[in-house]
Structure formats: structure tokens, C-alpha cells
Structure 1
Amino acid sequence: MRIPYGAEKEFFKYSLFLVFCNRITTSAVSAGSLLASKKTMDPVAPIYKYCLVSISNILTTTCQYEALKYVSFPVQTLAKCAKMIPVMVWGTLIMQKRYQGPDYMFAFLVTLGCSVFILYPAGTEISPYSRGRENTVWGVLLMVGYLGFDGFTSTFQDKLFKGYDMEIHNQIFYTTVCSCILSFTGLILQGHLIPAIEFVYHHYDCFFDIVLLSTVATASQFFISYTIRNFGALAFATIMTTRQLVSIMLSCIWFSHPLSMEQWIGAVIVFSSLYGKSFMKKPPPRTTPPVELVQNGESSNFKANA
């Protein structure tokens, strides 16, 4: 979104086309997984519920890509850590969850760190799309939209998993199929489909970048689902926190994004709060499986009889 292509230094401007490529790749892989595992291809929940997730997910990704035109990658990456607040809001509205005082405290600290990081940039970064402070404000508004839609997406997905006991691949498949249809329709209505294809046709390096982005986006979706299912949300939250830190470091090295002292302080506040929240949570008590109880009972009876 920020790197020019070709001798004429043209920029790729079609965010929805990236969403379409990502989702069609993910839907194809999830369909293959369902067929290979011989699991049902029938929808478990009503189609309109998959569509709700698709719409919010499309808006999430579009806001994410569009915001990169106006804010730097480190700013966007750290701002993603602030999605605790919209998740808490949507969790209260959709799942009727209740949060404790420490949850609100950590959310406040993360928001404070993100605000410091965004408000005190290192020097003046020139964006190919920026023409004054109003565009920076627009970039921040896009990030707020990203956080709001992303919070709804994850919360509603959690509700579908618990309410319908559906397989991960089933939800991924129908959600991404709906996303493909919606994003393709949006490209047609905006008149961006043909220009995007022509741009990719004339810039082969852009084509390979899109293929790489779609591949990694698809792989990450399955890794996320696998991690949550096998290691739990606590391990996943810690991994994601580390991922944000590594992403910022790589971006600073790769694209030479400088960080001010205030931004380093903001980053420390954010990551300290997130790690503190993760490590302060107590793991749920482990229950002894019935088989072990029977075996223990049998061994105890055996000893008593002996």
C-alpha cells in the first residue's frame, strides 16, 4: 500500500481486491480440508450468521489496509493491541459477559500506551497519500473502525462456536465464501475489479506480493484456530503479544521506521500491560478424567482386598 511499483512509481490502491484474494485462497484451502477429512460441508448455522461475520471481517481488513496509506506500520501494529476495549464492549453486548476491575485497568493502560505511541511520532513521516493533519486523523479513524469491526468479528465467532458446536473448518469455509461474494460484488460496484487486474498484470512483482500475502493470511488463520483449540486462549494471547512486538521491530529494521523515546515508552506500557494480564490469569482447575477415577478406584480396592 505504501511502496511504489514499476518505473512510473505507481501505488496499488485497491484494498478490497486484496481482501478478495485473501478470502478466496482461504475458502479454497478450508474446502480442501473439509473434503480431505470427510467432514460435512453443510452449514451448521443459518447462512445469514456467517454473512454477519463476513461483513464485519471484510470491513475489518479493508480498514486495516486503507489505514496503511495514512499511518505507519508500527503505529497500526501497536494500535491493534487496543482491541481489548472493543472486545470487552462487544462481549458485554453480545455474550452478556461481566468484567472485573483489573480487566478495565489493563484496558486503560493499553489505551494509554497506544495513545502515547501515536501522538508522539519520531519526526515527520511522509506518506504518499497524506496532505496534512486531516489525513492523519482519517488514518486514526480507520484504525478505530478496524478495532470496532474486529472486536465484533471475534466475539460473534466465539458465540457461533459455543452456540452451534461447529467445526473450525466449517466456519472458516462459509465465512470466507460469503466474504468472496461480498468483496467481489463491492469490486464490481466500485469499478475497481478491472483496474486492479490490469495493475497486477502490468506489475508482476505486485502479483507475487499479493500471492505471498494471501498465502500467509490463509496459513495464519489455520494456525490461530489450531493454537486456540490445542493450547488455549492464554497461550494464544501471549503469542499474539509477542507477534506485535516482533512485527514492530522487523518493520523498524526493514522499512527504517524510526521510533521516538515517547514511542518506546508507549510500547513498554502496552506490552507490559498485556503480558501482566496474561500471566496474572490463573489457569482453570484440572479435573480428573472418569477413566482415571475408575482406575484409581480399582487399584484402591485391590490394595484393600490384598
Structure 2
Amino acid sequence: MVTLVTYGLLQEKIMRVPYGAEKEYFKYSLFLVFCNRITTSAVSGGSLLASKKAMDPVAPVFTYCLISVSNILTTTCQYEALKYVSFPVQTLAKCAKMIPVMVWSTIIMQKRYHGPDYLFSFLITLGCSVFILYPAGTDVSPQNRGRENTVWGVLLMVGYLGFDGFTSTFQDKLFRGYDMEIHNQIFYTTLCSCILSLTGLILQGHLIPAVEFVYQHHDCFFDIALLSTVATISQFFISYIIRTFGALTFATIMTTRQLLSIMLSCVWFAHPLSWEQWIGAVIVFGSLYGKSFTRKPPQKTTSSSAELVQNGDSNNLKHNP
């Protein structure tokens, strides 16, 4: 929770708080993606070498690239949206990500969902809609005043949710289809992301201006370095929590993290909240906790299932999403 909350607050600080005496804003969101991915790639590659695990790609390279493209689009939409909507609005909107995940899972993995799943998804979407539609006042960065901030912000968040849902669903499909170490997927996915984001920076002509901005504003360099560090560390914590304590505990922690992120953002950056937004927040987090505590715990792997895994027939196993 410390790393993820820090990650969220640093995102807002870098994209929405001016640097230096001239009050300049950092505008190169793809550069943040590049810094995050190259740090994670280096750490995951070092972990594979230290543990003497296979460095060769387990799945076809194009599948890693597909995840990289959708992940870059996800992160870019997330950073760009912070120019037009506040961090609390963005965080609440992220709570609706289960809807695109359900859609992509139905399309890609032919999963079927039951009535309670759709009910919780509807309640969460309703709460997010209330939160977005009834703001306490104008809450956009000064550099964007006079523009259609709400329209652009909502479009970017819709793009974020769609790409993010595809990314997580396709990652799940790769884990099910191949006997793949988590660090193996992280390494090749982030390596592809490094190449793609660097190419995008060069084509847009943003690489040199971004480096010059960071060079001129040392506090921005520190923020970006800390952002990349906590983004990398959080990946290891997430993997450890899911493997050790299960998905239910992880879902509860993530829900608490989102609530804490909003509260800290409101205090730190002085975001006003209307009473309608408080009602929307209660609906969202109440639904998320209700879904977490009513979910059935995953069944333990039986000895026969373990034999199937050892024999390389892991595709026959059914795992809870």
C-alpha cells in the first residue's frame, strides 16, 4: 500500500504541479512510461539472472509486444488524463475496470459471469458516474483552463479502462497457455515497452526536451526516479501477495489503497469533494468490499492437479479469475 499510494501521488505531482520559479509543467507522459519500464525491465532481468532461471522467451515474442503496446497505451492515457481530471476522479473511474475486464474475458477467454458479478459491476459504475457528474467545482490544472477538460478526461479514462482490461486479460491468457515464470513475462513485456516508448519519444521529438526539462529541474528528476522505483517495487509486492495470501486479500488491499489514495490526494492537493461525490465514493467502495467478502476462496490444488502440472499438462487445470 505504501508503494502504490506513493506511486499514485507522484503521478499527480509530476503531471499537475509546476516546477521551478517559472512554474513550468512536465508534459511528456511517454517519458514517464519509458523510465518506469526500463527500471522494471532491469530489475526483472537481474532477478532472472540471480535466480539462474531461463532468460529465453517462453511465448512467441509478438505476444509480449501485444501486451506492451496495450500497456503503453494504458499508462499514457492514465498520465494524460491527469491533465484534464483530478486524481480522485481518476482513481474512482479505475474502480470500473471490472466491466472491460469482463467484456475482454468473455471475448478472449470465453468466460461466463453470474448475476452478482453484473450487479456489483453496475453499482460500481453507478458510483463512479455520480462521482464524476457532480464535482464540487473546477479542478483542472492551470495550463488547461479554457479547454474541454471533462470531455477529454472522460475519453482518456475510457481509453485507459479499455486498454487496461485487455492487458490484464491477455496476460492471464498467457499464464494459462504457457508454463511461464512471472519475471519472464515482466522482463520481456517491459523490454518491448522500453523499445516502443523510446521509439515514440524519438518520433515525437520529445526525448531531448524531456531530458532537458529533467536536467533543469532536479526535483523533477528525483520525482521520476522515485516514481520508477516504487512502480517496480510494487510489482514484486503484488506478485508475492497473490502467491502467498491469495486474490481475496490482494483485492481488499487494493480497495483500501484506492480509498487511502483519494483521501491523501484531497488533503495534499486540496481537492474539494461535494456531498454527491461522497455518496458515489461510498457506493463504489461498499460494492468493492461486498464483492471481495462474498467471493468464494480459491480451491486448493489437489494432488492429482499437482501431478498434471508436473507432467506439463497445466492447460487442463481450471483457475479462479
> Under TM normalisation by the shorter chain, which class is it?
over 0.9
Q: Does 1:183 align with 2:197?
A: yes
Structure 2, unmatched stretches of 5+, are: 1-14, 305-321
Could you tell me which residue of structure 1 aligns to residue 18 of structure 2? 4
**Deviations 1:92-133 (Å, cap 9, x if unpaired)?**
011110000111110000000000001111122242243346
Could you tell me which residue of structure 2 aligns to residue 91 of structure 1? 105
Structure 1, unmatched stretches of 5+, are: 291-306
Q: CA deviation at 1:228?
A: 1.8
Say whether the 8 Å CA contact 1:69–1:128 is kept in structure 2.
no
Q: CA deviation at 1:39?
A: 0.3
Q: Distance in 2 between matches of 1:226 and 1:136?
A: 38
Q: Percent identity?
A: 86
> Is the partner of 2:96 in helix, strand or coil?
helix
Could you tell me which residue of structure 1 aligns to residue 49 of structure 2? 35
Q: CA deviation at 1:134?
A: 2.0
Q: CA deviation at 1:282?
A: 1.7
Say whether the 8 Å CA contact 1:2–1:127 is kept in structure 2.
yes
Q: Counterparts in 2 of 1:66-77, with a 5 A limit?
A: 66-77=80-91
Q: Does 258-267 or 221-230 show the bigger shift? A: 221-230
Q: CA deviation at 1:229?
A: 1.9
Say whether the 8 Å CA contact 2:83–2:140 is kept in structure 1.
no
Residue 104 to residue 7, structure 1, CA distance change in 2 (3 Å): same
> Is the partner of 2:234 in helix, strand or coil?
helix
Q: Distance in 1 between matches of 2:251 and 2:196?
A: 30
Residue in structure 1 matching 2:289, options 275, 299, 303? 275
Q: Distance in 1 between matches of 2:146 and 2:106?
A: 38
Q: What is the RMSD of the two structures over their aligned residues, measured on CA atoms?
A: 1.3
Q: Distance in 1 between matches of 2:157 and 2:39?
A: 25
Could you tell me which residue of structure 2 aligns to residue 293 of structure 1? none
Residue in structure 2 matching 1:120, options 134, 137, 143? 134
Q: Counterparts in 2 of 1:164-183, with a 5 A limit?
A: 164-183=178-197
Residue 211 to residue 52, structure 1, CA distance change in 2 (3 Å): same
Say whether the 8 Å CA contact 1:116–1:266 is kept in structure 2.
yes
Bigger radius of gyration among the two: 1
Could you tell me which residue of structure 2 aligns to residue 150 of structure 1? 164
Could you tell me which residue of structure 2 aligns to residue 212 of structure 1? 226
> Is the partner of 1:256 in helix, strand or coil?
coil
Could you tell me which residue of structure 1 aligns to residue 244 of structure 2? 230
Q: How many residues align?
A: 290
Q: Distance in 1 between matches of 2:66 and 2:169?
A: 12
Residue 175 to residue 287, structure 1, CA distance change in 2 (3 Å): closer
Q: Does 1:19 align with 2:33?
A: yes
Residue in structure 2 matching 1:110, options 110, 124, 129? 124
TM-score, length basis structure 1:
0.92
Q: CA deviation at 1:184?
A: 0.2
Q: CA deviation at 1:221?
A: 1.4
TM-score, length basis structure 2:
0.88
Q: Distance in 1 between matches of 2:237 and 2:85?
A: 28
Q: CA deviation at 1:135?
A: 2.2
Could you tell me which residue of structure 2 aligns to residue 195 of structure 1? 209
Partner AA of 1:115 in structure 2: S
Q: Does 268-277 or 119-128 show the bigger shift? A: 119-128
